[in-house]
Amino acid sequence: MSPVGDTLRTRCRNFPGIVNNASIDWFFPWPDQALYAVASVMISPENKLIPGEHREHLVSHCVKVHQSVNDYSQRFLQRLRRYNYVTPKNYLDFISCYLRILDEQDQNIQAQCERLQGGLMKIAEASKMLV
């Protein structure tokens, strides 16, 4: 449940068991240092798809993207009076999704390279047959 508005208050009044038997997790923005540490761990140096010289830039970019989404969510609230929640889970999902898409694209490119290599071999074989 979102703590915004009267919904939480009304539900707590109507169902007192919610207050007695539930725990409330309040999400506050992570500090920059925590965002950087989490991205550094998730984008590990053992990942062969990300060159070492680009790893630091990628980590700082992930932090910048998450912070900008948070800033734009505040603007969204001011202009349209609608909430967009940016949670730590969103940040973890963002990095995981990036790594998954990176792996999928690498596999796609590898398959295309193998297909091209096979085609070049067929062309070479055909040219030998013609000579």
Q: What is the CATH number of the domain that holds 74?
A: 1.20.920
Mean pLDDT of 72-88: 91
5: left (phi over 0), alpha (psi -120 to 50) or beta: left
pLDDT in tens, 11-56: 888 888 877 777 766 667 789 999 999 999 999 888 889 998 999 9
With respect to residue 116, please indicate whether it lies within any of the assigned structural domains: yes
With respect to residue 62, please indicate whether it lies within any of the assigned structural domains: yes
Confidence of residue 4 (pLDDT cuts 50, 70, 90): low
Tell me the CA distances in angstroms from 51 to 26, 55, 108, one per residue in order: 37, 6, 19
Is 109 a residue whose pLDDT tops 80? yes
Domain total of the chain: 1
Tokens read off for 46: 């053992």
Residue bearing the bigger pLDDT, 29 or 110: 110
Domain that holds residue 55: 29-130
Which DSSP symbol is given to 31?
Answer: P
22 touches 41 (CB < 8 A):
no
With respect to residue 68, please indicate whether it lies within any of the assigned structural domains: yes
Alpha helix ranges (H) inside 43-87: 52-80
With respect to residue 108, please indicate whether it lies within any of the assigned structural domains: yes
With respect to residue 93, please indicate whether it lies within any of the assigned structural domains: yes
